[in-house]
Structure formats: C-alpha cells, structure tokens
C-alpha cells in the first residue's frame, strides 16, 4: 500500500533538453538549436517507503527522468530535492552521502556488469568508492551477506565467478546486490527484468519486494510493462513525450484512467482470457518528433476526445477529423498525388475523403469508411454546412496544386483548446491529470460534445 511518509524526492518544474549546442551548419545558416525535449516541466513527489511506477511508450522520457534523479544527468531547468536538499547544490560531503543513499539498477545486466570483474569485485566496488568497511575482510563479509540476501546462496561459489559464467537471472541479482551493498534509501529500477526470461521475472520481482521491507527502500520502477507496474507499484505516473499526463494510486490509474492517453495505453495491454471481448484504443497516428512536439496538449493530434470550440454545432467525431485534415495540410502529410491517382470521380471528393480518413481499428471506423483505400465519405460525418464548405474549398485548392492557398483557407479554423493551451495538472478523483476534459478549481468543467464520460 502507498506510504504516507515524508517526501524523499521532490521534483519541481524539471526539464531536460538534449541538443542545445549549435552545429556548424546551423551557425552558417543562422538557425537556432532545435533541442529534444526529453523531459519537460515535470513535477513529482515520492514519499519514503513508496514504490512509484513510471510508465509510457518508448521515448516518452522515463529513463531520462530516472537518470536525473540519480544525477547521471543534470536538469536543464527546475530543481530536484532529495531529503529536502537540492541535489544540484550539494557540498562535497553531501554529494558523497547522496551517492551512497541513491542507487540505480539498469535494464541490461549483460551491459551493466564489467565482464573483466568477478562478482566479488563488482559488488565490492561501491563499498570501495564510498569508503565503507574497515578492512578487506569487512567488505568481503558485507558482499557475502548481500549476495545471500538477493538469493545467491551460498555466496562463496559466486564470489570468483565472472558475468559470462552466470545466467541472466543471476546477473541481475548481482546487479541488485551491487546497488544494495551500500545500504541505500532510494533505488531507481530502469526496466529491471525486461532482459530476463519470463520464467524468472516473477522471482526477481518478488525478491525486490522482500528487499524493500528488509532494507527500508523507496523504489522508482521505470517500465513499459504495465502488468509489472500494476503488480509492483503503489502509485503510478504516466508520461507522454516528456510530459506527465496522469498521476495517482496505481489501482485507480489502471481501472479508471482519467487521461485519454492513459486509457489508450491500458487498452493496448493483451487480454489473458481468449474469450474476452477486445476493446482496442481509439487513437491514431504515431508519436510525434520530440524535437517538434505539438502545441497545447501533446497528445491532441492522436486523441479521440479532442474538444471542439464552443460554437461547433457538429459531432465531436466530425471535429476530430476536420482538425486532422487541417493538421495534415499544415504539416504536408496528406498525400494529394496518391489521392488523385486513386480517384474515380470528382478529384475534390477524393482529396477530401483521403484527408478526413483515420487509420483506426474497425470498431472505431465510420460506416462506409474504406480502411484499405484510406478514404471516408464526408456525408457519414455530422459536419456543419459552413465547415464542409471550408474543407471542400481547401481540398479544391490542394487538388489544383495550391498548397499555400489551402493552408490559408484553414487559418483560424477548427481550433481546439487542446491545441491552443497546454493543460495544467488538475484533480480528477483520486488522480491528478493534465487534460482539458477535467475541470480546475478556477474554471468550469470542459466537456467535449459527444465525448464519453
């Protein structure tokens, strides 16, 4: 269960940008650096004794955030406090204490262990670095003790083994022992069992739970494996494109997600029961480039619940597709030539049908939508007449090769609050979430017309 202890980790407004330097070509062309926003303005609190999970798709910033917490990266902006102290402003003695109290278990034990060092040398090294143990024998005794704690008992046969002589599970247990040998308070676990055979993952995870009680640990678990997060973690943070989009008790986040991305993430988890009815996520497109993230809510280009403006009189689904049509024209992602090549009738209808179509699971497609042809009949949408005229005019200009005119036609059209404003975190039941669908204390609830509860 979640712990009500004092805050151990306090993250406030933390961002990490990579690629801040200006290359030679950029300097010659007068271009400003275009960094990757790996972590962007994150707030997070982890209490003593908690097991906090961080989940999200690959590239969402999970591992970068974990490395920021152990000072393997320095934040570009913001502050990180450990036990009340800003970790970027530590004295030499305080930094030495921090390095002992905070440890990290990496994803790949094949890479994280030095192949030229024995098990004893690998596990003993943190003791040596932190000047712990009065003698070689004291350190050997401590290494033996912790190896047996992680399930490598009796420890003596393992001490002189090299990593290549161990199984994957044994290697990861050695990596866990190396992190615990200095008796830390906080351990960041980055995909700690993803490289292990399925048959031994449960044993390692149960071991880590037992070690939390024995060593009084606070954990941060980073994983894309949502079943692991659900099994291990008291609280869960969901990240998307460097943003935190939802936080709360793990059970509530899993069973009643409040952010559309969280819902899509858990919808994608395979069902164990082959007879269970499968509900596939109603999302479209790929994760955008982190160098050029979308404005507003970063998930809005893929979101099924994008909020229409107040004066929109059509359906929410119609607005979603009109917004997508505009985005494809602005970004140049609409293949007009292919649409015209496939046309059997009016070229404007062909371009409009291609632009309004979404690559969705069949259960979310519209009547008459041709999945294979990537086309939709506009009459299947509840489009207001003025909106359809605007879309047809833009499609006509596209069909005539006037891309600039088409973009100009759509200026200031089909604009959502989701695109215009980045949502602050706000309360939603037992969770906090960054989504305009949920009200704030300062504002009335915002509900998308036709959106599901």
Among the residue ranges 51-55, 83-87, 316-320, 437-441, the one predicted with the least confidence is 437-441
pLDDT digits (tens, 9 = 90+) for 356-380: 988 877 777 776 665 555 788 888 8
Whether residue 443 has pLDDT greater than 50: no
Instruction: At 20, give phi and psi (nearest 5°).
Output: -80, -20
- Give the pLDDT confidence score for residue 278 in this predicted structure: 60
Q: Averaged over 291-299, what is the pLDDT?
A: 92
C-alpha–C-alpha distance, residues 287 and 249, integer Å: 26
Q: What is the DSSP letter of 45?
A: E
Instruction: At 49, give phi and psi (nearest 5°).
Output: 85, -5
C-alpha pair distances (Å), 48 with each of 8, 29, 90, 144: 5, 51, 21, 27
C-alpha–C-alpha distance, residues 351 and 399, integer Å: 7
Q: Averaged over 263-275, what is the pLDDT?
A: 71
pLDDT band at 66 (very low <50, low <70, confident <90, very high): very high
- Give the pLDDT confidence score for residue 418 in this predicted structure: 96
pLDDT digits (tens, 9 = 90+) for 214-251: 999 999 999 988 888 999 999 999 999 999 999 999 99
pLDDT digits (tens, 9 = 90+) for 17-58: 998 766 666 666 666 777 889 999 999 999 999 999 999 988
Report the chain's mean pLDDT, rounded to a whole number.
Answer: 87
Whether residue 194 has pLDDT greater than 70: yes
| Helices within 332-402 (DSSP H only) | 336-342, 347-356, 385-399
- Give the pLDDT confidence score for residue 148 in this predicted structure: 93
What domains, with CATH codes, occur in the chain? 7-255 (3.40.50.300), 308-415 (no CATH)
C-alpha–C-alpha distance, residues 249 and 263, integer Å: 15
Q: Of 452, 450, 418, 415, nearest to 435 (Cα)? A: 418
Whether residue 144 has pLDDT greater than 80: yes
pLDDT band at 277 (very low <50, low <70, confident <90, very high): low
Can the peptide bond before residue 289 be classed as cis, meaning omega within 30 degrees of 0?
no
Q: Averaged over 305-323, what is the pLDDT?
A: 94
Instruction: At 141, give phi and psi (nearest 5°).
Output: -65, -40
Whether this prediction's pTM lies above 0.75 is answered by yes
C-alpha–C-alpha distance, residues 9 and 370, integer Å: 51
Whether residue 289 has pLDDT greater than 80: yes
In this structure, what token pair is assigned to residue 103? 């440890």
């Amino acid at each position: 269960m979640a712990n009500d202890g004092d805050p151990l980790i306090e993250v406030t407004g933390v961002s990490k940008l990579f690629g801040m330097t200006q290359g030679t070509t950029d300097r010659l062309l007068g271009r400003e650096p275009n960094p990757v926003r790996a972590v962007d303005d994150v707030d997070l609190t982890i209490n003593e004794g908690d097991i906090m999970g961080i989940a999200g798709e690959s590239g969402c910033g999970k591992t970068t955030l974990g490395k920021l917490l152990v000072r393997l990266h320095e934040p570009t902006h913001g502050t990180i406090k450990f036990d009340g102290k800003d970790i970027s402003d530590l004295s030499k003695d305080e930094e030495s204490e921090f390095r002992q109290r905070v440890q990290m278990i990496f994803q790949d034990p094949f890479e994280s262990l030095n192949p030229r060092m024995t098990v004893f040398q690998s596990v003993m090294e943190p003791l040596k670095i932190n000047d712990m143990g009065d003698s070689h024998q004291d350190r050997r005794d401590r290494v033996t003790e912790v190896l047996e704690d992680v399930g490598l008992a009796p420890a003596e046969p393992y001490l002189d083994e090299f990593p290549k002589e161990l199984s994957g599970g044994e290697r990861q247990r050695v990596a866990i022992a190396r992190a615990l040998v200095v008796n830390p308070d906080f351990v960041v676990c980055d995909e700690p069992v993803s490289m292990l055979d399925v048959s031994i993952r449960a044993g390692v995870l149960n071991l880590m739970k037992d070690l939390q009680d024995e060593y009084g640990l606070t954990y941060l678990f980073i994983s894309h494996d949502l079943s692991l997060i659900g099994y291990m973690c008291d609280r869960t943070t969901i990240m998307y494109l460097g943003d935190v989009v939802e936080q709360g008790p793990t059970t509530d986040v899993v069973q009643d997600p409040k952010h559309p991305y969280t819902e899509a993430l858990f919808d994608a988890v395979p069902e164990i029961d082959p007879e269970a009815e499968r509900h596939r996520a109603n999302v479209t497109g790929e994760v955008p480039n982190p160098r050029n993230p979308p404005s507003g809510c970063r998930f809005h280009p893929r979101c099924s619940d994008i909020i229409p403006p107040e004066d929109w009189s059509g359906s929410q689904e119609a607005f979603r597709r009109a917004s997508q049509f505009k985005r494809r024209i602005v970004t140049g992602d609409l293949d007009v030539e292919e649409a015209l090549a496939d046309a059997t009738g009016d070229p404007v209808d062909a371009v409009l049908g291609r632009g309004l179509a979404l690559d969705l699971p069949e259960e979310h497609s519209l009547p008459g939508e041709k999945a294979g042809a990537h086309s939709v009949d506009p009459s299947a949408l509840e489009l207001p007449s003025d909106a359809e005229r605007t879309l047809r005019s833009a499609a006509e200009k596209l069909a005539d090769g006037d891309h600039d005119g088409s973009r100009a036609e759509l200026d200031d059209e089909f604009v959502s609050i989701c695109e215009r404003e980045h949502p602050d975190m706000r309360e939603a039941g037992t969770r906090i979430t960054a989504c305009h669908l949920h009200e704030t204390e300062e504002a009335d609830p915002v509900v998308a017309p036709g959106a599901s509860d």
